[in-house]
Amino acid sequence: MWDRLRSVWYTKDLRNKILLTIALLLLCRVVAHVPVPGINPSSLASFLSKNGGGLNQVFGLLDLFSGGSLTSFSIAAMGVYPFITATIVVQLLMPIIPRLEAMQREGEAGRNRIAQITRYVTVPLALLQAFGQMALLVQLGGVNQSQFNLFDPTALVPTLATLVALTAGTIFLVWIGELITENGIGNGISLIIFANIVSRIPQYLGSTLVSTSATGGGSGGGSLVSSGLLGALGLALIFVMVIVYQAQRRVPVQYPTKRRVMQGVRTGAQTTYIPLMVNSAGMIPLIFASSILLLPTVLSSYLAYSSNKGLANFFSGARLWVDPSNWWYWVVYGVLVFLFTYFYATVVWDQQNLPENLQKQGAFIPGIRPGPPTADYLRRILGRITFGGAIFLGIVSIAPAFTGQGASASQALPVAGLLIVVGVVLDTVNQLQAQMVMRNYSGFLR
């Protein structure tokens, strides 16, 4: 193992890629400490720490993706979340807009154009998210109206400066992520999220140890046992996550081949396989489900001081139904994660148009006729293996409810972060393995 690590370091271009990736990630962490002009970060941080419940639900996932930048309210407070939202929106629009679907089939040029469209969509989404986030903080009293008010002429300049700073911070992170993807190792956007989550691990471990010692009744042995159980649960989750991320169903496919021999041309078939992943949706279903359950909290916060008391009372009641202290919250959350896993896996599968591509290349699955029978056969396999992936994500999403700490939705956020960390590490190791095979014909891992 150490010999292979040394071989990675002694390969000059690969070493340069790794150093560039580390340097750009460190730059992102520096940007995460640049404050937004005109906003007092200390007063905002104290406000966020004093308000729990639904407010932690609203800002917890965003603070996780930004590596704590929301608490300090830096220009990277929104992280790359608007870009993720834009990517999901473009993917969902592909089956609806024929032009986007045609671009997907144009190869590398088409994918580059779709990436450019995603960047264009990111800018207005970042502006809208920045405005909504600031408006919610003003509504809740976290930010003074003199610092952010689009309809007050005296506060117009600070308001525009805040919106531009937050949007520019997101676009800068997206640019850094694309530089890492093109010139470094791994997927840049995923690595930025990975670095943000890892930067929060010491703080989360410290708060967990303090909470377990506080609930242990002053007994050091009880807090030690609780911490050990949480650590064992975390290791078990990582072990299962690695297995599920790597699990796949290999469907054999035969491609026609021709080779010239002395008597003429002899035809044959080359057998390969299609890897259908058990968890093809990643952790996106958790984001979808969290967004749906956060909607009543956000709307009730907006309408708390509204003149329409009936509507405000309705969303206030709905907010109580999605309180993480209730057991039915976790049931609804798990069911939504299960359903969104199927939904996203189906959307991604339809975009690939794999049966039609196989038929154009003359390839076929042994025993299955090309065309619609192949599509039905692959769809049945996808449905069966996605069931296992959906059950896995549903169980992982409700795991905090069984640790005795499920009363806070913020406890579910490290589970989502753990999914991201495991997925990014596996993807980066696979890319490093491919780089080593390309250079030395032997991989990074045996």
CATH code of the domain covering residue 41: 1.10.3370.10
Percent of the chain with pLDDT over 90: 7
The distance of Cα 141 from the centroid of its chain, to the nearest Å, equals 30
Please tell me the least confidently modeled range out of 67-71, 312-316, 442-446.
442-446
Do 95 and 191 sit in the same domain of this protein?
yes
What integer is the mean pLDDT of 290-308? 62
**Average pLDDT for 2-31:** 82
Last residue within a domain, chosen from 199, 216, 250: 199
Q: Reply yes or no on whether the pLDDT at 217 is more than 70.
A: no
Return the ∠ at Cα 412 (arms to 280 and 408), rounded to 5°: 160
Tokens of 429: 């190791």
Backbone angles phi, psi at 383, to 5 degrees: -65, -40
Q: Is residue 148 part of a domain?
A: yes
Would you mind telling me the total number of residues written for the chain in this entry?
Answer: 446
Helices 81-93 and 54-65: crossing angle in degrees, nearest 10, is 90
Q: Does 109 share its domain with 247?
A: no
Select the more confidently predicted residue: 174 or 268. 174
**How many angstroms separate the CA atoms of 221 and 207, rounded?**
18
Of 154, 179, 199, the one marking the end of a domain is: 199
User: What integer pLDDT is reported at residue 178 of this predicted model?
Assistant: 92
Return d(Cα 12, Cα 1) in angstroms, integer.
Answer: 19
Contact between 200 and 71 (Cβ < 8 Å): no
Distance of alpha carbon 446 from alpha carbon 442, whole angstroms? 8
- Residue 219 within any structural domain of the chain: no
Mean pLDDT highest for which of 51-60, 71-80, 387-396?
387-396
pLDDT for res 49: 63
What residues make up the domain containing 133?
A: 17-199
Q: Is the pLDDT of residue 407 over 50?
A: no
Task: Examine residue 65 and state whether it is found in any structural domain, yes or no.
Answer: yes
Mean pLDDT across 255-283: 71
Q: Does the residue 402 lie in any domain?
A: yes
Establish if 316 belongs to a structural domain.
yes
Domain membership of residue 46 (yes or no) is: yes
pLDDT level of residue 410 (50, 70, 90 thresholds):
very low
| pLDDT score at 309 | 65
375: closest CA among 344, 347, 360, 354?
Answer: 354
Structure tokens at 21: 């990736």
- Produce one character per residue of 257-295: b if its CB has 16 or more CB atoms within 10 Å, e if not: eeeeeeeeeeeeeeeeebebbbbbbbbbbbbbbbeebbe
Mean pLDDT (the chain, rounded) = 76
Rounded mean pLDDT, 298-319: 61
**Quick one: pLDDT at residue 159?**
84
DSSP 8-state code for residue 257? E
Mean pLDDT of 228-253: 82
Q: What's the number of domains the chain is made of?
A: 2
Indicate if 231 and 193 belong to the same structural domain. Answer: no
What average pLDDT does this structure show over 426-444? 72
For the cut 90, the answer to whether the pLDDT of residue 23 exceeds it is yes
Residues 150 and 277 in one domain: no
CB 34 within 8 A of CB 74: yes
CB-based contact 443:436 (threshold 8 Å): yes
Pairing status of strand 264-277 against strand 248-261: antiparallel
Residues 6+ apart with CB under 8 A from 306: 312
In the predicted model, what is the mean pLDDT of residues 339-355?
Answer: 82
269: in domain: yes
Q: What letter represents residue 385's amino acid?
A: I
Are residues 247 and 134 part of one domain?
A: no
* pLDDT of 366 above 90: no
Average pLDDT over residues 78-85: 84
Residues 243 and 136 in one domain: no
pLDDT for residue 406 is more than 50: no
Span 324-349, mean pLDDT? 81
Query: Which two structure tokens, joined as six digits, stand for 261?
Result: 């021999």
Contact 187, 20 (CB under 8 A): no
Helix (H, G, I), strand (E, B) or coil at 219: coil
Q: Which residue has the higher pLDDT, 151 or 165?
A: 165
Whether residue 131 sits in one domain with residue 231: no
Q: Look at residue 53 in the predicted model and tell me its pLDDT.
A: 46
Most confident of 24-33, 403-412, 421-430: 24-33
| pTM for the predicted model, two decimal places | 0.77
Instruction: Check whether 151 has a pLDDT greater than 50.
Output: yes
Beta-carbon neighbour count of residue 132 at 10 Å? 12
Residue 103: count other Cβ atoms within 10 Å of its Cβ: 18
Phi-psi category of residue 186: left, alpha or beta, with phi > 0 → left and psi -120 to 50 → alpha:
left
Task: Categorize the per-residue pLDDT at 442 as very low, low, confident or very high, splitting at 50, 70 and 90.
Answer: low
Is residue 12 situated within a structural domain?
no
What pLDDT score was predicted for residue 173?
A: 92
C-alpha span between 229 and 214 (Å, rounded): 16
Do 279 and 324 fall within a single domain?
A: yes
Sign of CA dihedral 201, 61, 415, 279: negative
Task: Quote the DSSP letter at residue 36.
Answer: P
Asked whether residue 158 falls in the same domain as residue 254, the answer is no
Which residue matches tokens 């995603």? 118
Q: Which of 12-16, 142-146, 282-286, 359-363 has the lowest mean pLDDT?
A: 142-146
Q: For position 319, what pLDDT does the model report?
A: 62
Residue the block writes with tokens 């089939």: 105
Res. 3: pLDDT tops 70: no
- Quote the crossing angle between the two packed helices 412-440 and 284-302, to the nearest 10°: 150
Q: What pLDDT is stored for residue 214 in this prediction?
A: 55
Are 185 and 37 within one domain?
yes
38 shares a domain with 175: yes
Tell me: do 82 and 165 sit in the same domain: yes
